[in-house]
Amino acid sequence: MGYSGLEKRKNPRADGRFIVSYRVMENTGIYDITQTKNLSLGGMLLTTNCPFTPGTNLALEIRLPFDPNSIMLIGKVLESKEISKGLIYDTRLVFLAIDERHRKVIGETVGYYMKNKKG
C-alpha cells in the first residue's frame, strides 16, 4: 500500500482543550496560560497571545484528565500563525523531551479522545 502523502503526522491527533502554561525556556518565571487545540504523542497545537519564531523552545506544563499531576514538557515551535490580528496565534509545537510516564498519560488521553470523537 503506497503512502498518499496527505497526512504528514506520525501520531494521531486528538482534538481536546487542555490547560497549558508555557514560557520561553530562556525567560525564567513568566508563564502564560492558554489551552490546546489538539494534542498527540509528538506535539500539540495551542493558541498563544504572541507569535513565536520557529525553533523557539518553550517550557510547557499541561494538565490532562487521566493524571492528577501536571506534566512538564519541552516543546519546539514549528510554526506560529496569526489567527486574529495582533491577538491570537496558532502555535504548533513538537515535543523535545518527554519521559515514559508522561508519554503513557498523553497516549491514553489521545486514545480516549480519538475513540470518543463524534462523527
The pLDDT of residue 118 is 57
Q: How far apart are CA 110 and CA 18, in angstroms?
A: 11
Q: Average pLDDT in the 79-105 region?
A: 93
Total-model pTM: 0.84
- Is residue 33 helix, strand or coil? strand
The pLDDT of residue 4 is 39
Task: Kindly list the domain boundaries of the chain, sorted by start residue.
Answer: 14-111
Residue 33 in grid coordinates: 496560560
Residue 102 in grid coordinates: 508522561
Residue 83 near residue 68, CB atoms below 8 Å: no
**Interval 12-71: pLDDT, tens:** 888 889 999 999 988 777 889 999 999 999 999 999 999 999 999 999 999 998 888 999
Per CATH, domain 14-111 is 2.40.10.220: yes
- pLDDT range class, residue 98, cuts 50, 70, 90: confident
